[in-house]
Amino acid sequence: MTTVNYANSKSYTGGTLQPLAGVTLVGPHKNVLIKGVLVDTGADLLQVPEAAAIQAGWMTSLGLKIPIGTAGGTTAMIKLAGVSIQIEGVSFVTDMLCHPDPYSRPLLGRAALAGLINFGFDPANWLWV
């Protein structure tokens, strides 16, 4: 059995260990690091609190307001197309949803994960190759 050790890995203790990532929004005014973004293959897009997008310098008023179905019901969110982000030092462009609740859980959805495949992310084993 092969064991892979990562610099920031944690041992599984049977608790609530979740797949989390750090995502940096590369905005027009500044970069905003969002820690503890839940990797969620059930989510379609990257979802962040609208306050973080505004802090990075995106004008969310220019985005498209759309209804999004979540586990807690339907919520209107702002969709921004073609935003620059960075995950684990890899930069790329993806679409992003902005949640109106500043305390909403950030989610890393399938579109952003698919963007990582171009840079060596192996979706079959969930490991960098």
Any domain includes 6? no
* % helix, strand, coil for the chain, step of 5: 15, 45, 40
Is there a contact between 40 and 108 (Cβ–Cβ < 8 Å)?
yes
Residue-level pLDDT at 129: 40
For 72-120, the pLDDT digits (tens) are 889 999 999 999 999 878 899 999 999 999 999 999 999 888 877 777 6
Residue-level pLDDT at 72: 81
Any domain includes 89? yes
Cα distance between residue 59 and residue 67, in whole Å: 19
Any domain includes 88? yes
Any domain includes 3? no
Any domain includes 61? yes
Total structural domains within the chain: 1
Residue 52, φ and ψ in degrees, nearest 5: -70, -40
The answer on pLDDT for 2 being more than 80 is no
The answer on pLDDT for 5 being more than 80 is no
For 43-72, the pLDDT digits (tens) are 999 999 999 999 999 999 999 999 998 888
Domain of 96 in residue numbering reads as 20-128
Residue-level pLDDT at 44: 92
Task: Return the higher-pLDDT residue of 9 and 67.
Answer: 67
Q: Which CATH number characterizes residue 122's domain?
A: 2.40.70.10
- The pair of structure tokens assigned to 53 is 């997008």
Residue-level pLDDT at 49: 97
Sorting pLDDT into bands at 50, 70 and 90, what band is 127?
Answer: very low
